[in-house]
Structure 1
Amino acid sequence: MMNVLRLPLIALLTGVLGLAGCSTHQPAALYQLDSGTPGQPAQSAGMAVVLGPVTVADYLQRETLLQRQTDGSLSAATDGRWAGSLSADIDQLLLRQLAWRLDSQRVVLAPAPAGFAPDVQVLLSITRLDSGKNQPAILDAQWRLIDRRGQVRDNRMVHLEKQHDGTTASQVKAQGELLQQMSQQLAVALKPLANQPPLVESRKPEPKPARKGESDKPRIPMASPIRTDMEVFRF
């Protein structure tokens, strides 16, 4: 009789432990940066811009969503992670934002396609992009703008901060809004470089070549009449 009662009890305990295991291994939420609501650029022949290379700090090149602690250390979030590559997500957000703000469909990521002649190239370095439950979202970056002649036209360091309500979702949203804010500042710096002088200056017209056969003929000086005061008499 004892053996008969023991089997249902073991099965019941196994089921309870299985449910407990399922409840403690819930899948983590996946997050992407908030790219805002950029519109579709209308000008197909607008400003030509190459965005990149965009370098991102090593600690951001992973799917782990990091949390900044009060002592400055970083720890992995337990309730979420990035949905894919954060670096690629940053590239696409900046590309869409700049194309919209410049109203140009000629904004491409580096390396530029063959035959693409940019008005300006943006070299961008992002050294920090993170937040924490009790820490604001912070973006540290630096850009350099290279014009079509290869000259540096702008070199700027950016530091931006944004508060949030502490949840992981609000932190991700705040980080995306910081990138949008930087895109706005970058677009303002780019617009004056749209009207650059052409690389090739207009050449002076070359002298017309001599007609065929004219250069082969020897030039004979024209004889001028000689006048004298002598009179001629006829008899």
Structure 2
Amino acid sequence: MMRHLFIIALLSSLLLGCQQSPRKQYYLLNATPHADQSVAVTQSVGLGPIEVADYLQRSQLIVNSDANSLQVSDNAYWGEPLPKGITRVLAMNLMNHQPTRAVELFPWRSDSTPAISIRIQIHDLQIIDGYAVINASWKLMDNLAKKTVAQHHHINKRPCESTARDIAAAYSTLLAELGNEINQALVSKGK
């Protein structure tokens, strides 16, 4: 009888030990720092739609094993859906560049369509061979004239370790650099 109790206790402890999985870790993209200023908004631009590659539409962080394969993280997760994080960070970066600028997120109401909007496609945002890489296209649209006033294909990379913390920081930096490029186009157009 004692032997059966011992075996049951041993099996129970093994099962309980197997049920505990590693704790999930959550990561966010961050905008560039800004000066604490309270200023009146004098201009508004629209941001969106922003299209993000399908393979990035997951809650877990992804690292490329090589050019043609992906590795999904076991316990590193985005704290928000990645497309929403990209939109949030780009909007904040654009406002931080120009404190008098308000950014309206797509979709906007038909009676309050901004005169200028930015459309973005994120084709790739990945870690490969020790680099974080972004491949994106953007268009600056004159919504009143219904025409493209500027567009660019943006490719950039920076060294990055394959830890989740480093990936989130590298992606944040790449998005800041994309925001810088878009901001320069807005400034050159007087927006």
TM-score norm. by structure 1 comes to 0.72
* Greater length-normalized contact order (CA 8 Å, ≥ 6 residues apart): 2
1:71 is displaced (CA, Å) by: 4.2
User: Secondary structure of 1:36's match?
Assistant: coil
Pair 1:112–1:39, CA change in 2 (3 A) = farther
Equivalent pairs: percent with the same residue?
A: 23
Structure 2 residue 38 is the aligned partner of structure 1 residue 49: no
Is the counterpart of residue 6 in structure 1 residue 3 in structure 2? Answer: yes
Q: How many residues align?
A: 190
- List per-residue Cα deviations over 1:140-168 (Å, max 9, x = no partner): 10111112433322110000111123312
In 1, Cα distance between equivalents of 2:34 and 2:56: 24
- Contact persistence 1:51–1:123 (CA under 8 A): yes
Shift of 1:126: 0.7
Q: Which structure has the highest strand share of the two?
A: 2
Amino acid across the alignment from 2:31: S
Distance 1:71 1:181, change over 3 A: closer
Distance 1:114 1:194 in 2: 24
Give the greater-gyration-radius structure (CA).
Answer: 1
TM-score (norm 2): 0.87
Structure 1 gaps of 5+ residues are 196-235
Bigger helix share: 2
Deviates more, 1:41-50 or 1:28-37: 41-50
Q: Deviations 1:12-66 (Å, cap 9, x if unpaired)?
A: 313430343145x123212221223244564433222001111111111221321
Q: How many angstroms apart in 2 are the aligned matches of 1:107 and 1:41?
A: 16
Distance in 1 (CA, whole Å) between partners of 2:115 and 2:35 is 22
RMSD of aligned alpha carbons: 2.2
Tell me the residue number matched to 1:109.
105
- 1:53-92 maps to which residues of 2 (within 5 A)? 53-92=49-88
Give the gaps of 5 or more residues in structure 2. Answer: none
